[in-house]
Structure 1
Amino acid sequence: MAASVPGLAVGTIHYKQSPAVHTMLKNISYVYKNAHGESYRTEDVKFSPSGRRMAVISVDNCIFIYDVNITARPIQVILKIEIRSASLIYPHGVDFLSEDVIVVANRGSDIQFYEIPFVTEGVLSSFVDPIYQAPSPWFGKKGIMKQLPERKIYTGPGGVRFLNGILFVSCNNIPSITTHVCTLTPDGMQLQDDAIITQDGFQVLDGVAVSQDGSRLAVSDLSHNRIVLYDRLGSGAGHTSPQSSFTQTVTLQDEDLRFPHGLCFDPSGKILYVTDAGSPNVYVFATQDDWASSFLTSSFKLKAVRDAAFAKTRTGLGEPFRSLEGGAKGIDIDPTGTVVVVTCKNQPLRFFETQPGMFSGS
């Protein structure tokens, strides 16, 4: 369990918000307004392997690609490409296979792969077809919804992460995580049969994260207000065969964490960042025992959504759904572990900078 000590002590993370930049805010506005002047609902966000690009998903059936310079202060972010496709149906998750190829998880469809168009100057709005689509029996039929006690949800894939040739996909058809061997060749995409990791009584799975060494998996269990961690057994860190066995180890909770959504490990694998769709905070869990113990409280809470944006999102929804919205959705950390970015409706992308020695005792 996280250390309970007053002040800035062991188990506490130190951050500062990166300086805002006017050109960034101007360009980011492309994400948040559609042709009718309505705010886009953004979901997942992901840095490219080099950290020089960033993809943002909107359920308005858009993918936004940015050029980003995280070493600059202020951080420099330039919108380069707005990708649309008839194949995009309620996209929710995204990751990079390479600097030029992305994979998208569609709540109302399946897994799709897109090649990022080349742009020389300005912003390109491009209607493209996927270079490959990957249905699976685990995803169910396209466009199918199921009734939960409080609402209906799409059953298709929602979260996707790519590591060492393996796709990790969260899906709500039969709530589960599946793995898919994925190979990008000069002749196209090859995707082998999937293997199930877990379906341990979940109801709604939104996010999935994999540690950089491939030894640990994190899943946001929205219905039970918790994060569930899994360890890979029998093959050692870094082994990424889908036949490897994952076993549930610990859970991460906080009394204020309502609906965990996006999540990501830092490069060390010892810090996990979690967004909450139901509160303005990002919750940070930092292990001192290599995730051998469960958490009943987070190591640190970072307010990531401004009050005005949080209130505006909630008041625009019907009463039964207000508790499920308002907070940040997507989150990622750049490959160096320096900059954290979050997405939220009615608020521009927000960046936070980690500090040297931010966690001692890990």
Structure 2
Amino acid sequence: MIPRIDFEATSAVNDALAAIGRTEDLRFSPDNRLLAVAGYGRRRCLMLRIDIEPTAGAPRIAIRDFTELRSESMGEVHGLDFIDNRTFVVANRDGLVAVFALPRGEPAGQGHEIPPLRVIKGSRLCRLRTPGSVAVRRESHGRFSLLVCNNYTHRVTRHVIHRRWGYRALWNQLLLEQGLNIPDGIALSHDGRWVAVSSHGTNDVKIYDMSAPLGRETRPAGVLENANYPHGLRFTQDGSSILVADAGSPMVHVYASDQGWKGRRRPSRSVAVLDSESFLRGRASIEEGGPKGLDIDRSNRVVAVTCQEQALAFYGVSSIVGRTAAEPVLDVQDSV
């Protein structure tokens, strides 16, 4: 098992993490100041105010405060992503997809009941059903695409929204279907070329080339094998690796690129991020017990991982991929 990076937190933050119950995805905000955790079991989102400070050794991580967000439009919160620093989207596996604005001010250890800015249902020919993970893609002319894994209809749909129109879905599209069986996680490469989708039922990750039009008949360009029950996944900033959380083992698997993601490949490296006791305690079935949510912070130094038996843990990117990762320039988006 690779060493964790310890983090500083108040007793109130630790209590909130201990009480969150079953977790699924998690996501850093664009400015790296918030970490959102999907509270599937308690039907809420936990927003953590976080500082990551680079040092000569492991980064110093401090969680300064938190807020718990609840809503009638939050159910079994399975996936989430940020549109900008103040706006986020939630995928409810037992419901629909909802767009929310963060409450004004800093997190202050409080709970808030918040209304949605918009609930996304899809259209008659592209209806959202059992939405799980979601990825936000910035488009031209101020638009955003929500790429949504519809878990039990085995497809990924695309919903184009715009702030000016109150985040109403202007266009709904069946984006991907070939090769997917319970798509359980989704990630976009930083150059926009590739989209990776965890396929729980086929025990692998499918990768699709976004440089060409996508649709119902699009076949995967690449397959990441031997992932057991893949869930959260992320491309590293330089696009050289994909990290995959394996819900069916204590492992995070690393897949290495060869100047692209076409073809089949096996992990170049696998590392344990859960101790045996924690893993076995959560092993209700062969599909459970391991890490669920996974994200890489915007400095490309820290990997955050979550699951029910370990609500939050941090690891160095270099300790997982086995080398020093390139450090990007942080892209801080407008907070409005």
Fold match by TM threshold 0.5: yes
Q: Give the 5 Å matches for 1:1-362.
A: 17-23=3-9, 27-33=13-19, 40-59=21-40, 60-71=42-53, 73-120=59-106, 122-136=108-122, 137=124, 155-164=129-138, 165-185=144-164, 188-234=166-212, 247-254=219-226, 257-295=227-265, 297-314=266-283, 317=284, 322-355=285-318, 357-358=323-324
Deviation at 1:309, TM superposition (A): 1.6
TM-score between both structures, scaled by the size of structure 2: 0.85
Deviation at 1:56, TM superposition (A): 0.5
Aligned residue for 1:32, secondary structure, equals helix
CA distance in structure 2 between the aligned counterparts of 1:191 and 1:246, rounded to whole angstroms: 23
* Residues 255-287 of structure 1: per-residue CA shift (max 9 Å, x gap): xx3211111111222211111111000111111
Amino acid at match of 2:199: D
Moved more, 242-251 or 130-139: 242-251
Aligned residue for 2:167, secondary structure, equals strand
Equivalent residues, number: 312
CA distance in structure 2 between the aligned counterparts of 1:127 and 1:177, rounded to whole angstroms: 30
Say if 1:173 and 1:203 are closer, same or farther in 2 by CA, change over 3 A: same
Aligned residue for 1:310, secondary structure, equals helix
Which residue of structure 2 lines up, in the alignment, with residue 152 of structure 1?
Answer: none
Alignment check: 8 A CA contact 1:139 1:157 kept: no
Say if 1:120 and 1:330 are closer, same or farther in 2 by CA, change over 3 A: closer
Deviation at 1:340, TM superposition (A): 0.7
Unaligned residue ranges in structure 1 (runs of 5+):
1-14, 35-39, 142-154, 236-241
Amino acid at match of 2:222: V
Deviation at 1:78, TM superposition (A): 3.0
Moved more, 350-359 or 98-107: 350-359
After superposition, the CA RMSD in angstroms is: 2.6
Which residue of structure 2 lines up, in the alignment, with residue 149 of structure 1?
Answer: none
Amino acid at match of 2:46: F
Which residue of structure 1 lines up, in the alignment, with residue 333 of structure 2?
Answer: none
Aligned residue for 1:308, secondary structure, equals helix
Which residue of structure 2 lines up, in the alignment, with residue 7 of structure 1?
Answer: none
* Residues 38-95 of structure 1: per-residue CA shift (max 9 Å, x gap): xx00100001111111111011211011111122543112342100112212110000
Task: Indicate the percent of aligned positions where both proteins have the same amino acid.
Answer: 28
Alignment check: 8 A CA contact 1:139 1:156 kept: no
CA distance in structure 2 between the aligned counterparts of 1:127 and 1:328, rounded to whole angstroms: 29
Deviation at 1:26, TM superposition (A): 5.9
CA distance in structure 1 between the aligned counterparts of 2:278 and 2:126, rounded to whole angstroms: 33
Alignment check: 8 A CA contact 1:263 1:275 kept: yes
